[in-house]
Chains A and B, each alone.
Chain A
Amino acid sequence: MTSALGKDLLALEPLTPEQIRLILDTAEPFKEISERAIKKVPALRGKTIVNLFFESSTRTRISFEFAEKRLSADTVNVASVGSSVQKGETLVDTARNLEAMRIDMVVIRHGASGAARFLADRIESNVINAGDGTHEHPTQGLLDILTLRDHFGDLAGRRICIVGDVLHSRVARSNIWGLKKLGAEVAVCGPKSLLPWGIDEFGVKVFKRVEEAIEWAEALNVLRLQLERMQAGYIPSLREYNRVFGITHERLDRAPRDILILHPGPMNRGVEIDSDVADGPHSVILNQVTNGVAVRMAVLYLLAGGRPELAESAKASAPGAER
């Protein structure tokens, strides 16, 4: 049967606002499960899920694995660092082998943009994109949006700026599409050398200076700056990056309002974000991590054909649901 989301979750760009709201609304009852003593409901009992990670990941992989286990799915982790090319087996062969094992779902993280779509086009199992190259990371986008919604309620008209290496960020793309679909005003800010050419055609504001972004925004989603960007000549040094684009409390103190701080992690403290900001009163970075499990449970549940209106009772039917 086709779920309310279709077969796969590959990106936020093609989703409707209703589909995004459905995932967020479905995540709400699942949040509570993680607060229980026995964190398990039988919603996906008997389903088999492969977590196929071609890139190293701690947070996303563990978050998916907890989401799967809390829904009682049977899971297998395949970690294969390095591209499929280096590994020798092609992605299409990997896909065929998975298909032959009659699995129900695949969660894929891959270094090549489009890899999740490539897999989804070739197998019948549901595919969830856990980050493909510099394309999209839809569950990260959803958990960021859920965290913003927890704080602001309706996101329509809210001003959210994504700061940093947008060029190489799959998180940024998923955030931009998802937030815009819910009516938020979205801006990006970073050195021009780290913004994609054509970014203004996404319908976002572009700030050249981080001070302008802070002046404007109600929330900042601060992207990780990878050391390789300096080696590849996009910026001169991490030190200068922190001085010019870093989110510091000195800069935030000059803002006309309190600004909510998000970061998809892992953080480079002292580079894109200072520790006192990351650990400060307006940081919701750990709420993001908590919400990540609930959002992924919602996505798994919906793709498996779970009816959204039953999400509440799905958790109630948990064995030993009393706390």
Chain B
Amino acid sequence: MTEARDILLSGGRVIDPSAGRDETTDVLLRDGKVEAIGRSLGAPEGAEVLDCSGLLVSPGFIDVHCHLREPGREDVETVATGARAAAAGGFTAVCAMPNTEPVTDNQAAVGFIIRQGLRAAAARVYPIGAISVGQRGEALAEFGEMVGAGAVAVSDDGKPVVSAHLMRTALEYAQAFDIPVIDHCEEPTLAKGGSMNEGMMSARLGLRGIPAEAEEIMVIRDILLARRTGGHVHLAHMSTAGSVELIRWGKERGINVTAEVTPHHLTLTEAAVGGFDTSAKMNPPLRTEADVEALREALRDGTIDLVATDHAPHHYDAKEREFADAPFGIVGLETALALVVTELVEKGIIDFPTLVDRMSTRPAKLFHLEGGSLAQGSTADVTVFDPAREWVVDPSKFLSKGRNTPYAGDQLRGRAVYTIVGGRVVFRLEE
């Protein structure tokens, strides 16, 4: 790799919640680190100067929840295409879920993802290891060796941890390595066969519903187990107002629970499924207006800590089928920032410093990752984005191999202009 040039980010609005910074100033990056922040920093000889006037400069966004499908489904996504899609979406790092084929449940598998991420040389890729061997919900996977190989968390995501005993043990054992245990909260007997939210819409369409309680029962179980064990439980893709209430209850008692919400659960309701539209089929399902309101408020007040995409690419024809048979999930890396800007910031629910906190500062802190800060000497992972840039979602232009999104054709505002990882520009917006 060639030696990274110095980069001067000139005249942008620099937001760094870790330092309480929000001002128009310059940032100088050198040797993969933040060298200096201040007004009218001169460009050193040979430095690349990026004019950031009118743009926001923030510590790089981190997505703690995506599915890169490699190994196993390289036809759908690879670590490289996923990492490039992430960079295009303004993410400097992503955490890859272990529900690959074979499952990422050992140090060799973790090492493979790390190597593929380094070869991609786009957004950083941090593997998440499985909680249980083969994600079968029985024996614990080797957390220690996986962390040694580079895993940053454990999860059986895609599948809930059905056994409360296994969840308890994972929360205890993980403490030796200081990693969060992520759960996909879904009580399987209640959710069985369901393909959308259980409510008026599922009754109308004659589709089997997944009740809110399928999530909430597991949320409270996990919170109680975190209280019992002192472990850090991180709850993936929260979707209901009830879950928000339970997390609030847990946090008020000092229990070590954190949670994420996806852009789609912040912006869409079950109404999107109305015409049997499989592009709106996800798990957990899109819920009601009241749930969306509660999730937005929870992200604002910090009850929900961060935004994560649950980026879930599928083959282009996988969703071209009967609703109940179509797979769950949508791609999210390249639309997340714009959805949060358009639907939350522009509507006055959160401000830009909060956006940066929920998409960079907190993910870095909770998952113990580098980045999340522009303090002098910190790693030069930086996202420069244009908060006012309007664009129309065109899935054919995605860098992800996945095209499955319910937002196709939507006009959104907010777009990454430069994504910088370790002092190297890994994405530049063309045009």
Contact = CB atoms under 8 A, between A and B. Distances in A.
Given A92-B320, A113-B323, A133 B199 contact: no
B140 interface: no
Contacts of A197: 198-199, 202-203, 209, 211
Interface in B75-131: none
Interface in A152-177: 170, 173
Nearest to A166: B203
Given A91-B321, A118-B276, A113 B206 contact: yes
Contacts of B322: 83-84, 91, 110, 112-115, 118
A115 B324 CA distance: 10
Interface stretch (A22-30, A198-206, A256-264): A198-206
Contacts of B203: 196-199, 201-202
Given A83-B325, A92-B321, A197-B198, A13 B275 contact: no
B276 A113 contact: yes
A135 interface: yes
Contact of A113 (B198, B211, B317, B324): B324
Nearest to B207: A113
Nearest to A114: B276
Contacts of A173: 204, 206
A113 B205 CA distance: 7
A198 B206 contact: no
A117 B200 contact: no
A201 B201 CA distance: 10
A136 B206 contact: yes
Contact of B320 (A90, A117, A198): A90
A43 B57 CA distance: 71
A196 B198 CA distance: 9
A85 interface: yes
A132 B207 CA distance: 10
Nearest to B322: A112
A90 B325 CA distance: 11
B205 A114 contact: yes
Contacts of A199: 203
Nearest to B195: A113
A200 B398 CA distance: 43
A287 interface: no
Interface string A117-135: 1100000000000001111
Nearest to A133: B206
Contacts of A201: 200, 203
Interface residues of B, number: 21
Interface in B163-208: 198-200, 202-208
Contacts of B199: 197-198
B321 A198 contact: no
Secondary structure of the A contact surface, majority rule = mixed
A134 B206 contact: yes
Interface in B302-337: 317, 320-325
The interface size bin for chain A is 20 to 34
A170 B206 contact: yes
Contacts of B208: 134
A112 B200 contact: no
Q: A85, A110, A118, A132: which has the most chain B beta carbons within 10 Å?
A: A118
A113 B323 CA distance: 7
Contacts of A114: 205, 207, 276, 322-324
A313 B182 CA distance: 70
**Interface-central residue, A13, A114, A117, A197, by most chain B CB under 10 Å:** A114
Contacts of B317: 90, 92
A85 B322 CA distance: 10
User: Which of A133, A199, A202 is most buried by chain B, counting CB atoms within 10 A of its CB?
Assistant: A133
Nearest to B277: A114
A112 B206 CA distance: 9
A223 to B, nearest CB: 14
Contacts of A113: 205-207, 276, 322-324
A110 to B, nearest CB: 7
B206 A135 contact: yes
A197 to B, nearest CB: 5
Nearest to B193: A232
Contacts of B200: 198, 201-202
Contacts of B204: 13, 173, 202
A118 B203 CA distance: 19
Contact of B324 (A13, A92, A112, A196): A112
A90 B205 contact: no
Contacts of B276: 113-114, 117-118
B205 A135 contact: yes
Residue of B198, B204, B325 most packed against chain A (CB within 10 A): B204
B378 to A, nearest CB: 50
B224 to A, nearest CB: 26
A133 B324 contact: yes
B333 to A, nearest CB: 27
B202 A112 contact: no
B229 to A, nearest CB: 34
Interface string B204-223: 11111101000000000000
A133 B204 CA distance: 12
B67 to A, nearest CB: 23
Nearest to A112: B322
Contacts of A84: 321-322
B115 to A, nearest CB: 37
Interface string A211-232: 0000000000000000000000
A112 B323 contact: yes
A12 B20 CA distance: 58
A112 B204 CA distance: 14
Contacts of B211: 197
A13 B317 CA distance: 29
Interface string A1-42: 000000000000100000000000000000000000000000
20 contacts: A13-B204, A83-B322, A84-B322, A85-B321, A90-B317, A91-B321, A113-B205, A113-B276, A113-B323, A113-B324, A115-B322, A117-B275, A118-B321, A134-B207, A173-B204, A196-B202, A197-B209, A198-B198, A198-B203, A202-B203
Given A83-B325, A114-B276, A197-B209, 10 more contacts: A85-B321, A112-B324, A118-B276, A118-B321, A118-B322, A133-B207, A134-B207, A135-B206, A199-B203, A201-B203
Q: Which 7 A-B pairs have the closest CB atoms?
A: A114-B276, A135-B206, A112-B322, A134-B206, A196-B203, A113-B206, A198-B200
Interface of B: 198-200, 202-209, 211, 275-276, 317, 320-325
